[in-house]
Amino acid sequence: METVIGLEIHAQLKTETKLFCGCRADSAGPPNSRTCPVCLGMPGALPVLNKRAVELAIRAALAFHCEIHPRSSFARKNYFYPDLPKGYQISQYDEPLASGGWLELGERRIGLRRLHLEEDAAKLVHQGGRSLIDFNRAGVPLIEIVTEPEVRSPREARELLQAVRRTLRYIGVSNCDMEKGELRCDANISLRCGDRAGTRTEIKNLNSFRALEEALAFEEARQRALLLAGREVEQQTLDWDEASGRAVPIRGKEEAEDYRYFPEPDLPPLLISSDWLEEVKRGLPELPEERRRRWRAEYGLPEYDIEVLTEEREIADYFEAAVRLFPHPKEVSNWMMTELLRLAKEGELRLKPADFAQILRLVEEGKLNRSAGKELLEECYRTGKGPEELLQERDLLQISDAGELSAVVSAVLAENPQAAADYKGGKEQALSFLLGQVMRKTKGKADPKLARALLLEGLGPNRT
Ligand SMILES: [Zn+2]
C-alpha cells in the first residue's frame, strides 16, 4: 500500500491593505475596526484589486517555478456561512494566476498544480455559548497553493509545508506566522494498492506543522486498518481535533460542497504584462535551495549547519556578512549556532556583523579566550555597545603576558601545596584543579594554554 497525499496551502500575503479595499490588513486593532462597505459585503460596494497583492503572488509563483498566465480571472465561490458577508468569496477558479511548478525537497521534487489569489473570510470567535464575528480578517489577501498528490508520507507533508514557509518568508511574500493563522493547510490522503487508486479523505484547517503530520499519520493508519480488514474507505471531509488526537468527520460524500463557481462580474480579467513580470523577477532574491547549493560548494560546511543557517534569510545574510569580514566559515557558523542564535531566540539579530566578526578575530588572535569572547558577545548583544568600547570598560582582554601570569601561577602554587603534592605524586586531575584556581584568580582572563604551561613549569616533573 502506498500513501498518496496532496496539500492545499493558504498563506496570507504581506500587504498593507486588503485585497479589494483600502482597509488595513493587520491583526492589530480591536475587532471590526478594519472594515468598510467593501469587506463587509454591503450592497453596491465594488472591489478594486490591490496591485501589491498581485505582485507578491507573482513573486511566490516565480519562486515555485510556476507558469504565470498573462491573463487570469476572478470567480465567486458561493457558500452560506456567517464568516462570509457577501455570501461568496472572491477567488480564482478556471483561470488561476499560475499553474504547474514544483518545490524542492532534498532530492525530491513535488509538483504543484496551481497557485491563485483569493480573499480570506472573517474570523468566528466562539465564547460562552455565543459566536462572535470579527471582520478584520475578511478580505485579507491570500494565495492558495495546490500540490499534486505526490507527497508520500505525513513526515514529507510536514517538510513540504516547512519548505513553503521558508521560501515565502525568504522572498518577503508572507510572514507565515502559523499562530496568527497566516499559514494554514488542508490535506487530502488516500492509500493506493498496486495500480488501484484509493478513496480520498480530506482533513481541514491544519494550522501547525505538528497538527499536519499527526492528522495525516492518524488518517493513514485508520485507512490502512480499514483496507486490511477488507472494508472500504468512505469519501469524507474531516476536522482534526488536536485535543483528542482524532480526525472527526464533518461531511460525507452526499453533503460535499457545491460552490457553484461563476465569473466575478465586478472585476476585469487580471492582465500581467511581460515587462511587469520581468521587473518582479529582477527583484527576487536568491532562493533558499539555491543558497544551500551555493553554500555547499563555497563554504564546505556540514549539512546541518547549512540547514540551520539558511532557514531564515536574515540569518543567512548575517552569516555571509560575517564571513566576508572573518573568513573562517566553520568558526562563524559555530559561534552563530551556539551563541548568537541562542541570544536572538526571542528577537532579532541585534549585534552588527562587523562587531560579531571583530569578537571572533580577538579570540582568533588570542587576545580573548573563548569564554571571555562569549561573555563579550553577550554584553555587546544586551547593551548594544561595540566590542571596543566594552573591552575598555570591562577589562576582559586575555592575560597572555607570561610575566603577569607567572606571578598568579606562583601564588596559586604557594596557596595550594596539597594539590601540588598530589600532582607530583601522579594525580593528573590535580592539575585541572590548579588551572581552575588560576582562572578564578584572573576572573577567567588567563590564556588557558599559557597558564597550563606555566603551571607545569612551576610544578616540575611528576612521578609518571
Ligand atoms: Zn474594507
Residues 209-248 have pLDDT tens digits of 999 999 999 999 999 999 999 999 999 999 999 889 999 9
Same domain, 293 and 437: no
Same domain, 385 and 422: no
CA distances 40 to 12, 21, 30, 53, 130, Å, are 19, 10, 16, 20, 21
More confident residue, 168 or 29: 168
Same domain, 47 and 153: yes
Give distance in angstroms: CA of 37 to centre of ligand 1: 6
Neighbours of 255 (CB within 10 A): 10
Measured CA to CA, the distance from residue 3 to residue 191 in angstroms comes to 5
For range 91-96, the mean pLDDT: 96
454 class by beta-carbon count within 10 Å (0-12 exposed, 13-18 middle, 19+ buried): buried
Give distance in angstroms: CA of 408 to centre of ligand 1: 73
**Given pLDDT bands bounded at 50, 70 and 90, which one contains residue 258?**
confident
Q: In residues, how long is the chain? A: 464
Q: Flag whether pLDDT at 55 surpasses 90.
A: yes
Residue 240 and residue 205 in contact, taking contact as beta carbons nearer than 8 Å: yes
Give distance in angstroms: CA of 26 to centre of ligand 1: 12
More confident residue, 276 or 260: 276
Give distance in angstroms: CA of 446 to centre of ligand 1: 65
Residue 334 is predicted with a pLDDT of: 95
Measured CA to CA, the distance from residue 62 to residue 70 in angstroms comes to 13
Measured CA to CA, the distance from residue 228 to residue 303 in angstroms comes to 40
Give distance in angstroms: CA of 39 to centre of ligand 1: 4
Out of 394, 411, 444, pick the residue that ends a domain: 394
Residue 138 and residue 24 in contact, taking contact as beta carbons nearer than 8 Å: no
Q: Flag whether pLDDT at 279 surpasses 90.
A: yes
Residue 256 is predicted with a pLDDT of: 64
Domain of 173?
A: 2-278
**Given pLDDT bands bounded at 50, 70 and 90, which one contains residue 255?**
low
Q: Flag whether pLDDT at 342 surpasses 80.
A: yes
Residue 396 is predicted with a pLDDT of: 65
Give distance in angstroms: CA of 11 to centre of ligand 1: 19
Q: Of 80-94, 262-276, 428-442, which range is least confident?
A: 428-442
Out of 278, 306, 337, pick the residue that ends a domain: 278
For range 175-204, the mean pLDDT: 94
Give distance in angstroms: CA of 276 to centre of ligand 1: 27
For range 154-162, the mean pLDDT: 97
Residue 372 is predicted with a pLDDT of: 83
Radius of gyration of the chain measured on its C-alpha atoms = 30
Indicate the average pLDDT of the chain.
Answer: 91
Give distance in angstroms: CA of 198 to centre of ligand 1: 43
Give distance in angstroms: CA of 75 to centre of ligand 1: 19
Q: Of 5-9, 84-88, 255-259, 357-361, which range is least confident?
A: 255-259
In a domain, 464, yes or no: no
Give distance in angstroms: CA of 131 to centre of ligand 1: 22
| Secondary structure (3-state) at 366 | coil
Give distance in angstroms: CA of 35 to centre of ligand 1: 4
Give distance in angstroms: CA of 143 to centre of ligand 1: 18
In a domain, 257, yes or no: yes
Residue 254 is predicted with a pLDDT of: 66
Which residue matches cell numbers 607567572?
406
In a domain, 34, yes or no: yes
**DSSP code per residue over 245-288:** TEEEEEEESTT------EE-TTS--EE--HHHHHHHHHT----H
Q: Flag whether pLDDT at 462 surpasses 80.
A: no
In a domain, 197, yes or no: yes
For range 378-382, the mean pLDDT: 86
Give distance in angstroms: CA of 33 to centre of ligand 1: 10
Which residue matches cell numbers 505582485?
55
Same domain, 165 and 66: yes
